[in-house]
A and B are shown apart, each in its own frame.
Chain A
């Protein structure tokens, strides 16, 4: 092995300028591939997220009736819900997603999200944290189980650098500062934005549930509830949470890419609550649309009949059609926008193969000399492959270095989406490395197609 490395090093020294140019091109190719893969992943994220969920076996319905404000009315949905009840043998459930606000004396206000069990089951994808998720446990002793994301604006450290979560739960105060930045002694200070929710903690939440359907000139007060809750789960990040909006600006959406991402709300504390008929059953949160989940074994003709009823009463789209449309849109975008990536990747491949061809003459004589001095044919192939592989390996390290520099420069700056595109993960990096190595292997084999045709003594005369 040492011999092979030594001899590969000798080959390297012969072509320094072209080697450096090829390495730069390869590094760029790795970068472009990585960016392409990340953008692709983002483009297809929603499709990948939803394609294997119950949403793929559902129907999104939107009623036709609107009120004097132009808002969708709930009566069509109520009628459709009644039809769904009649078809309960094919309907697995009706989505009950709701969004309110809540307040806790110990933890101030936050966003309050209600999920039905089916929706909660696939919203679980990608979530990391500790404890349980919704519907993993039932209410006990009057306490409803909740799952919490502690909003990022809630400071985790006080001014002394102490971790607030480890404090005794009482509010912590920032000191007051004067005009020149000095601490004002003996002042009460400003309360810090509230301690974090902790696993196992019990809390009373004041929930303000605003009804969706409003009327001009009439104030419909929210339904106020005080709910005793127990924190059964703490989530690390709300980035994975993405909701499918069935209705965008009053029209029925046919693409899951019209989703709402909770990542925009990561400043606020989010409380996730399991739908409860007793608490929310009499509550008109309907926004004029409904999402019906079908059972897995629902016969196709029954589904089509249900769809026909829905079409007769408003507008509808099958979840599977929505998801397929999402993929089609992503496919078109990919084809339209990635010509540059294909071109760069192709140029990189051509350049490395060209280097291989250009080296044939020089290489032929040198390999012939090695062969005449005891080097076997396979060993000579290994020497040249090692030369290419090392060159690619250095390019790959350069690529990782570039990513690190970008990450360090962007660190702390919230340029949404940009950082994601210019980072990598182990799988992506491994794939890029292996593909590049395979291309290096092919490029390194090319000269030997010609070298093998003649004896080493004949090849001596070529150079």
Chain B
């Protein structure tokens, strides 16, 4: 099976207020295959967000290796890492990360402004298709500020899939939702995974973890396989 993520011996530290170094990730290894649905579970401060930043090429690391689809990300410039985000890697956040003053359609089109995957004349069409895929076609022209939490999260997922990325990183995607809405969002992510998109969900919620086949636990800067 094609490996989409290969991480070996990854280390990442931050400076503390007293200028000492805090090791967040220490010798972390992780492999994710294409089309997998993986949940990374851990307590607050365990390094989930740090790992998410690195997986999404948002932040660098001190040592180790991270290959994304075989490419060594440590050698990539900011421009190239940015190009990866939005075209091959996309995000879904707990607080949706949408531009409230803009419409759903405008938000969903955002990654297309920075990607050459979809031609200029096809952008609107691609955005409409993504909005239809998440089941909120009737809300395309509505401002995000007028939507419910579940609708916003669907809009965020539509944005995440509009450029047909290889990997979706979801950081507590159901954290701000009620149980019923959370379930529908999770189901949506499962559907996307079934269609072939690799999905990694980072959460501290055990209920979410229970629904996934592969569960990894992060603690003390390392990952251990819980199930899968």
Knowing A455-B58, A457-B58, the reply to whether A373 touches B99 (Cβ < 8 A) is: no
Q: Which residues of B lie under 8 Å from residue A460 when comparing CB positions?
A: 93, 95, 97
Interface residues as binary, A65-82 with B (CB distance below 8 Å gives 1, 0 otherwise) = 000000000000000000
Interface residues as binary, B82-113 with A (CB distance below 8 Å gives 1, 0 otherwise) = 11111100110101011101100010001101
Knowing A369-B99, A370-B110, A372-B97, the reply to whether A455 touches B53 (Cβ < 8 A) is: yes
Contact of A374 among B49, B52, B53, B85 (CB under 8 A): B85
> How many angstroms from the CA of A375 to the CA of B110 in the assembled complex?
9
Interface residues as binary, A438-456 with B (CB distance below 8 Å gives 1, 0 otherwise) = 0000000000000000011
Q: Which residues of A lie under 8 Å from residue B52 when comparing CB positions?
A: 457
Q: Which residues of A lie under 8 Å from residue B79 when comparing CB positions?
A: 376, 378
B193 within 8 A of A: no
The residues in A between 50 and 86 inclusive whose CB is less than 8 angstroms from any CB of B are none
Q: Which residues of B lie under 8 Å from residue A2 when comparing CB positions?
A: 120
Q: Which residues of B lie under 8 Å from residue A379 when comparing CB positions?
A: 82, 114
The residues in B between 57 and 89 inclusive whose CB is less than 8 angstroms from any CB of A are 58-59, 78-79, 82-87
Interface residues as binary, A1-32 with B (CB distance below 8 Å gives 1, 0 otherwise) = 01100110010011000000000000000000
Query: Judging by beta carbons under 8 Å apart, are B91 and A374 in contact?
Result: no
> How many angstroms from the CA of A86 to the CA of B187 in the assembled complex?
111
Looking across the interface, which residue of chain A has its beta carbon closest to that of B87?
A374
Candidate in A6, A374, A455 with the most chain B CB atoms within 10 angstroms? A374
B8 within 8 A of A: no
Query: Judging by beta carbons under 8 Å apart, are B102 and A376 in contact?
Result: no
Q: Which residues of A lie under 8 Å from residue B93 when comparing CB positions?
A: 460
Q: Closest Cβ of chain A: how far from B157's Cβ, in Å?
A: 13
Q: Which residues of B lie under 8 Å from residue A325 when comparing CB positions?
A: none
Query: Judging by beta carbons under 8 Å apart, are A373 and B95 in contact?
Result: no
Looking across the interface, which residue of chain A has its beta carbon closest to that of B91?
A372
Knowing A369-B99, A460-B97, the reply to whether A374 touches B59 (Cβ < 8 A) is: no
Looking across the interface, which residue of chain A has its beta carbon closest to that of B120?
A2
> How many angstroms from the CA of A403 to the CA of B102 in the assembled complex?
38
Q: Which residues of A lie under 8 Å from residue B59 when comparing CB positions?
A: 455, 457
> How many angstroms from the CA of A276 to the CA of B52 in the assembled complex?
94
Query: Judging by beta carbons under 8 Å apart, are A377 and B113 in contact?
Result: no
Query: Judging by beta carbons under 8 Å apart, are B58 and A372 in contact?
Result: yes
Candidate in A2, A7, A376 with the most chain B CB atoms within 10 angstroms? A376
Q: Closest Cβ of chain B: how far from A345's Cβ, in Å?
A: 33
B115 within 8 A of A: yes
Q: Closest Cβ of chain B: how far from A384's Cβ, in Å?
A: 15
Query: Judging by beta carbons under 8 Å apart, are A374 and B111 in contact?
Result: yes
Q: Closest Cβ of chain A: how far from B65's Cβ, in Å?
A: 20
Q: Which residues of B lie under 8 Å from residue A3 when comparing CB positions?
A: 113-114
* Number of residues on chain B facing chain A (CB within 8 A): 33
A366 within 8 A of B: yes
Contact of B97 among A7, A369, A374, A455 (CB under 8 A): A369
Looking across the interface, which residue of chain B has its beta carbon closest to that of A376?
B82
The residues in A between 233 and 262 inclusive whose CB is less than 8 angstroms from any CB of B are none
Looking across the interface, which residue of chain B has its beta carbon closest to that of A368?
B97
Knowing A13-B101, A456-B58, A460-B97, the reply to whether A371 touches B82 (Cβ < 8 A) is: yes
> How many angstroms from the CA of A97 to the CA of B163 in the assembled complex?
83
Candidate in A14, A375, A377 with the most chain B CB atoms within 10 angstroms? A375
Knowing A370-B114, A457-B49, the reply to whether A375 touches B82 (Cβ < 8 A) is: yes
Candidate in B93, B97, B98, B99 with the most chain A CB atoms within 10 angstroms? B97
The residues in B between 164 and 191 inclusive whose CB is less than 8 angstroms from any CB of A are 171
> How many angstroms from the CA of A366 to the CA of B111 in the assembled complex?
13
Q: Closest Cβ of chain A: how far from B74's Cβ, in Å?
A: 16
Interface residues as binary, A346-379 with B (CB distance below 8 Å gives 1, 0 otherwise) = 0000000000000000000010111111111111
Q: Which residues of A lie under 8 Å from residue B113 when comparing CB positions?
A: 3, 6-7, 370, 373-375
B204 within 8 A of A: no
Knowing A455-B58, A457-B49, A457-B52, the reply to whether A375 touches B97 (Cβ < 8 A) is: no
Residues on B lying within 8 angstroms of A by beta carbon are 49, 52-53, 56, 58-59, 78-79, 82-87, 90-91, 93, 95, 97-99, 101-102, 106, 110-111, 113-115, 120, 159, 163, 171
Q: Given A368-B97, A371-B82, A374-B82, list of 8 further CB < 8 A pairs?
A: A10-B99, A369-B98, A370-B113, A372-B91, A374-B83, A374-B113, A378-B79, A455-B53
Can you list 12 A-B contacts with CB-CB less than 8 angstroms, sorted by A residue number?
A10-B102, A370-B110, A371-B85, A372-B86, A373-B110, A374-B85, A375-B114, A376-B79, A378-B79, A379-B114, A455-B58, A457-B171
Residues on A lying within 8 angstroms of B by beta carbon are 2-3, 6-7, 10, 13-14, 366, 368-379, 455-457, 460
